[in-house]
């Protein structure tokens, strides 16, 4: 905790004074981010650092493996779905970015335990079962190296999440009216490269 408090004191002494007017504006007028990012909980992948954003610029929801679950208004507790609904009804979003990353622990757990989801706890296995559709979309390549297999599934899961987003009525309405676009992206932790999903062919290519 001491390290966290030291960081807070540095923030109060250095960063907050530099952004005091910005915070005051955000309090007075409320938030108006134009970008929503659906990212992973992984501590190595910080969206505000990767995109170098200021306070109030991005609305972020994070979960294990940056998944967008299927649209399921069944009365259950759906944290990510609630964030999507809020962002697409209360905010004037111009884009929704699904941000995946390399060496994702959730994807690795799925590949290792997909035939025994209970092996990864009370909640993780059931959550990671959301990757089944992405996995099923891939060709069977038994000779693929483990790292390549994981990268392939990381990409497929982003494409599946983009497809799941379109099942949310509030998202589909914004897309249809051209108020919002969907973007898939994959961050390589090893070299800091961001790859963006091509909307036409689904391939991931380095951002310009």
Task: Give residue-wise pLDDT tens across range 29-52.
Answer: 999 999 999 999 999 999 999 999
For β-strands 204-206 and 194-197, DSSP reports them as: antiparallel
Q: Are residues 124 and 155 in the same domain?
A: yes
8 lies in the same domain as 103 = no
Tell whether 72 and 110 lie within a shared domain.
yes
Does 81 share its domain with 25? no
SS3 138: coil
**Percentage of the chain surpassing pLDDT 70?**
100
Q: Write down the mean pLDDT value for the chain.
A: 95
**All residues at 6 or more sequence positions from 146 whose CB lies less than 8 Å from its CB, including other chains:** 111
pLDDT over 90 at 131, yes or no = yes
pLDDT score recorded for residue 159: 97
pLDDT of amino acid 117:
73
What tokens appear for 47 in the block?
């969206």
Q: What's the CATH code of the domain at 144?
A: 3.40.1050.10
pLDDT of residue 174: 97
In this prediction, residue 49 carries a pLDDT of 97
pLDDT tens digits for range 65-74: 999 999 999 9
Same domain, 62 and 16: no
For 67-97, the pLDDT digits (tens) are 999 999 999 889 999 999 999 999 999 999 9
Q: Which are the contacts of 70, defined by CB distance < 8 A and separation ≥ 6?
A: 130, 164, 167
Calculate Rg over the CA atoms of the chain. Answer: 18
Give the model's pLDDT for residue 206: 97
Same domain, 1 and 103: no
Q: With left for phi above 0 and alpha for psi between -120 and 50, is residue 165 left, alpha or beta?
A: alpha
Could you tell me the pLDDT band of residue 120, with boundaries at 50, 70 and 90? confident
Does position 20 have pLDDT exceeding 90, yes or no? yes
Query: Do 26 and 37 reside in the same domain of the chain?
Result: no
- pLDDT tier at 180 (50, 70, 90 boundaries)? very high
Residues 57, 26 within the same domain: no
Which pLDDT value is given to residue 27?
96
Structure confidence at residue 208 (pLDDT): 76
- Residue 99 burial class via C-beta count within 10 angstroms: exposed 0-12, middle 13-18, buried 19 and up: buried
- Residue ranges making up the domain that contains 25: 1-30
Q: Which two tokens stand for residue 161?
A: 């999440």
Q: What is the mean pLDDT of residues 171-181?
A: 97
CA distance 150 to 136: 14
Considering the domain architecture, whether residues 57 and 118 belong to the same structural domain is answered as yes
Quote the pLDDT of residue 175: 97
Interval 182-193: pLDDT, tens: 999 999 999 999
Same domain, 159 and 198: yes
* Count of domains forming the chain: 2
38 and 23 co-located in one domain? no
Identify whether residues 98 and 127 lie together within a single domain: yes
């Amino acid at each position: 905790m001491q390290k966290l408090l030291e960081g807070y004191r540095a923030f109060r002494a250095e960063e907050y004074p530099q952004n005091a007017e910005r915070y005051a504006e955000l309090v007075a007028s409320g938030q108006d981010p134009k970008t929503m990012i659906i990212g992973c909980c992984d501590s190595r992948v910080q969206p505000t650092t990767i995109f170098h954003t200021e306070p109030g610029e991005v609305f972020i929801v994070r979960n294990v493996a940056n998944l967008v679950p299927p649209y399921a208004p069944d009365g259950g507790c759906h944290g990510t779905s609630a964030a999507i609904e809020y962002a697409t009804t209360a905010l004037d979003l111009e884009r929704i970015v699904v941000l995946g990353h390399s060496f994702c622990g959730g994807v690795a757990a799925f590949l290792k335990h997909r035939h025994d989801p209970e092996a990864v706890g009370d909640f993780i296995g059931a959550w990671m079962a959301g990757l089944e559709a992405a996995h099923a979309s891939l060709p069977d390549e038994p000779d693929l190296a483990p790292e390549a297999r994981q990268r392939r599934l990381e990409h497929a899961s982003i494409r599946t999440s983009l497809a799941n987003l379109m099942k949310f009525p509030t998202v589909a309405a914004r897309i249809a009216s051209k108020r919002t676009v969907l973007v898939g992206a994959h961050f390589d932790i090893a070299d800091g490269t961001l790859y963006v999903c091509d909307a036409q062919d689904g391939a991931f290519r380095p951002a310009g």
